[in-house]
A and B are shown apart, each in its own frame.
Chain A
Amino acid sequence: MFPSTPLLDKIQYELGAQEPWPKDVKLYQPYEVEQILLPDNANCLAVQAFLRMCNLNFEIVSKANAEFMSPSGKVPFIRCGAFVISELEPIVQFVNTKGISLTSELENDQKCDIRAYMSLVHNVLENAELYLCWCDKETYNEVTKPRNGSVYPWPLNHLQNWTKRSHVIKRLKMMGWYSKTMDQVYHEVENCCQALADRLDGKEFFFGKKYTELDALLYGHIYSILESRNAKLIAILQKNKNLLTHSQLIHRHIMQKHFDDKLLQRLKSDHRKIKTRNIKTKAKEVEKRSHIETNKNIRRNQTIENTLTETEIDSLSDVDSGDLSDY
């Protein structure tokens, strides 16, 4: 939520600026399939999208204790040489020191707009997601508890759920969200989406044809909300169709391409391994894994396509892909 980099790091950033983007950058996040929660997933997707937008290579590492490894206690974080940086804003700053920026051509007031709208997303969507996950009884019992506790043995899982919940509640209390009811939270999300939709208007991205970190952040949140299958939130999103098309666009042209390539590669290599080793159990495991991944990817596609009507998808295809490949 807040960029957490003290002065010393600032100096370190500047020292590190001379070096180019290394090859072995790793992005750490919790397990996507069984562990990650809605707010974390949103932030992870946002950082992934941002790095892909910048055409920077990185490897995703799933770790059960990613949250505890992170210097700010929040996921995701990247490890780039000697630097460990967490959360979107500091990562954006760090990338900027390498001379890579998505916003270099923007005016000052537009940069201000980015900051303001990103704050909006953090303040409303992130807090609403946290509220939904930890304070809504039904979601907490059915989704949050089993998922957050999945990586711990009994009875540590209950202890972890309990401590995490009390932390989140403390934070929401101070930000004035804990006293809200669920309906007020939904209402707040509605306002936020309305404001974002108004800003987006009919444009492809927030600042015309060029995407920025704001687009990445919004994509992360919208996409993980769609994945979470929370009917109420999705209904709110559907009222603002242009937000969905916006996410769909980013997904197709930035994330999807990468997912497809990677999946194909991995499946191929896995099959080769199976053939050579001929180990039955291993084959099962790999099949299961690839099954999950393909399923997940199919689901990713489905979730977004379900929410869009056919006509809109057609209108999407009108977007000139030639324009996009320029970036």
Chain B
Amino acid sequence: MSATTNILVVGIGGQGVMTATEILAEAAIALGHDAKKTEVAGMAQRGGVVSSHLRFGQKVLSPQITPGTADVLLGFESAEAMRWQHMLRPGGITLMNTARLVPPVVELGLFDYPADPLGEIRKSGNKVVAFDATTIAQELGDIRLGNTVMLGAIADHLPFSAETLLACVLQRFQRKGEKLVELNRRAFAAGRAAVGEAEAALA
């Protein structure tokens, strides 16, 4: 990876994209990095597109990731992962949730949802690992754990240890009780394992 690490987290409003990016930023800062986090999310609360940029390294200047320079793209939703492929650098990787969130404009028949986002991304030549974070979260008992599953998914694709990130995730739930801490620990591990298995299958 280059001197500055560029992580792009994408999804739609309400999925927890901005919180996930903030936790990644906290982990980078805990290790002494400079970091900047920015997003275009003006009306994200209303189900719109959210793309959150995190840059960290010794000294970060521009907060925005220039198209073609993202190291990792963490996609909370299939079509959104597809939408931002041009942001990746050559050799960059996409880690994507296979969930499909269909917007009203598609329900109304005005636009089509891509038939195979994963296939489209593969066809472009970009490296991609897909997993079903939503189902993993549901199986753990709460769809809201999806955010932590996603953070687990990216944990082995960062220039620092998965344990550092896990500690930052769990810190968020410390005050909410041991039960929630444990659930999130499992969600993180499940996300990490899902990506590991998917990568092993690809190799």
Q: Do A and B bind each other?
A: no
Residues of A near any B CB (own CB < 8 A): none
Residues of B near any A CB (own CB < 8 A): none
